[in-house]
Structure 1
């Protein structure tokens, strides 16, 4: 990869959902490694992996597997992890794939929504006559050590194909961007195909006719549940300016006897507290400012309904007392809620 541009260097670091690390602690223990030491050296805590929708820094995720390979003495740790990783373990993007009607639809959905799962990375198909290639690569030049990620990711993608085409299916050829480390027979055993190292990207080839395979667990209802989550995460990734609006809307939906916390809203978006705080700073807004904006917007909505009692409005906005709501409303508008209702002509 070339040198990072100035924009790359100041852009937020990419993330990946923790679902991509499902089962890594068990594999480390199986290989007689020390999970706490390996996670610590990768700047991660065991609790970071508890929530599959928590965002991990992609660099930390890659370092986790590089460190696991080093400490366990298994330089094919990522390959071992990926070959047994089932599509559903990937979380939303995996379920979107296996609930699709065909392999073609599964790959299209993964290509469309991959940014919701992992940032600063490419995933997609390119054509070469009657042969197609599935290609994957981390595009952030700040992440230099990513051999283990490449091997585990290609193993994961292989299992999506095998989910549709059977466990004996194999690609025509597999390519990795990193150089070979020793012989390639273990890679060939996993993929059942010739392996080429030191190539432009990570990819494997397959026949166009493979795309017609039906997904055995297709489920339109499950897909309809998952797709809105993936769409919203992609929209936020593409258009950071809509992030604050999305957060404010979620706060409005979750206001009750107490206002939602940053941690609660972060979990809805599949983010860590730290990542949400960072994205809020990028938008020059604080979480408390969004809570206040949500309360004000809802207060005006409720006050425009003359039959909603003020004490009920206070409760709906997360205030324990009417007096606290009245003070807040006066600070927003310069008048009390009672006066607002008296002076609003259409409420007379």
Structure 2
């Protein structure tokens, strides 16, 4: 049920056809009929010929589910993502590979992900020296999305491997879907422990690798690609996109210091006044988003019963536990101690 004032768009979300680059060849290599798979997914094979074509996201997810069934390869998406190189993603892939550092590459993917795929989240959750890259389709109408989750995390891992080498591995991988048969392949492809039935799709990495230089930075190419992505994102015009990007950038800073509007504006390549004007146009303030980012992280950290409350407060940018406790009571209507007792009782 929608909350009061919430509007759910009934326009099908889209994804750029570049995300399916090479799928026809892979279906055939696995002994399947590409014609049959595309017909089952109600997608024309010619639609994936141009990387800037738009595909219905539901049909795109179904394409890979059908490919897995038709080829008899339950890990079709996992294998597809493992071999998929960042530049094959089209504009957003080139934005990543032409960035100066891995951290910049990930920030650019996050900032322009709405231009690549709708009704989805791509962001980061910091936990001290560890950061989780999180991805999830948010459209509840798309139910069968296991193959998409596995291929997407594989694609994102390959952005890291572009900078860190083909043998780089995440610390841990998590998927929202249930544990499948043959799950040992997942650990082998990611070279990391894999868990299932988690709240989102994510993998963990060490924060200090973000400063690693990308091997082929290209400021000129990036300027061209960024203009394309920005115009596409702005054309799509969802005001929540910029809110999500800001919230995720704030979460990346919290724990080191509380970022000001100038810090975040600089990352997005704009002045503080321009950013504040854009937020005013959609009826929110920077402080609103800061509070929202803290609340999201607080609920995430509080579910880790082994994390002391003082550490939670520090990770959220509070210098004193009392300040965090007051804020948490405003968010949830209860104290942090009571919240943890209730969570423990649920278990």
TM-score (norm 2): 0.67
Q: Matched residue of 2:104: which SS?
A: helix
2:303 is aligned to none
Structure 1 unaligned segments of length 5 or more: list them. Answer: 241-348
- Do the aligned residues in 2 keep the contact of 1:124 with 1:136 (CA within 8 Å)? yes
Asked if 2 retains the 8 angstrom alpha-carbon contact of 1:4 and 1:142, the reply is: no
Q: Give the 4+ runs in structure 1 shifted more than 2 A.
A: 3-8
Counterparts of 1:1-348 in structure 2 under 5 Å?
Answer: 7-8=7-8, 10-238=9-237
Distance, in Å, in 1 between the alignment partners of 2:2 and 2:213 is 41
1:296-344 alpha-carbon deviations (Å, 9 max, x no partner): xxxxxxxxxxxxxxxxxxxxxxxxxxxxxxxxxxxxxxxxxxxxxxxxx
Deviation at 1:200, TM superposition (A): 0.4
Please list every run of 5 or more consecutive structure 2 residues that lacks an aligned counterpart in the other structure.
240-347
Distance 2:26 2:73 in 1: 11
Q: CA deviation at 1:126?
A: 1.1
What displacement does 1:16 show?
A: 0.1
Match of 1:7, SS state, is coil
Matched residues in 1 for 2:34 and 2:165: separation? 33
SS at match of 2:204: strand
* SS in structure 1 at match of 2:7: helix
Deviations 1:248-290 (A, max 9, x none): xxxxxxxxxxxxxxxxxxxxxxxxxxxxxxxxxxxxxxxxxxx
Shift in Å, 1:185: 1.4
In terms of Rg, which structure is larger?
A: 1
> CA offset at residue 184 of structure 1?
2.1
Deviation readout 1:5-32 (Å, 9 max, x if unpaired): 7832x53110000000000000000011
How far apart, in 1, do the equivalents of 2:163 and 2:94 lie?
Answer: 13
Conserved 8 A contact 1:15-1:58: yes
In the alignment, the residues of structure 2 paired with residue 147 and residue 125 of structure 1 have an alpha-carbon distance, to the nearest angstrom, of 21
Q: CA deviation at 1:124?
A: 1.0
Q: Is the 8 A contact 1:178 1:198 kept in 2?
A: yes
Residue of structure 2 in register with 1:292 after alignment: none
1:4 Cα deviation from its structure 2 partner: 6.7
Deviation of the 1:212 alpha carbon: 1.1
Alpha-carbon separation, structure 1, partners of 2:131 and 2:48: 34
Q: CA RMSD in A?
A: 1.3
What TM-score comes out, normalization by structure 1 length? 0.67
Give the Å deviation of 1:238: 2.1
What do residues 231-255 of structure 1 show as CA deviations (whole Å, max 9, x unaligned)? 0111112259xxxxxxxxxxxxxxx
SS in 2 for 1:137: strand
Distance 1:146 1:87 in 2: 21
Corresponding residue for residue 343 of structure 1: none
| C-alpha separation in 2, matches of 1:183 and 1:88 | 30
- CA shift for structure 1 position 207: 0.3
Match of residue 280 from structure 2: none
Q: For 1:177-234, what per-residue CA distance to the aligned partner results, in whole angstroms no more than 9, with x for missing partners?
A: 0001114211111111000000000000000111011000110010011001100111
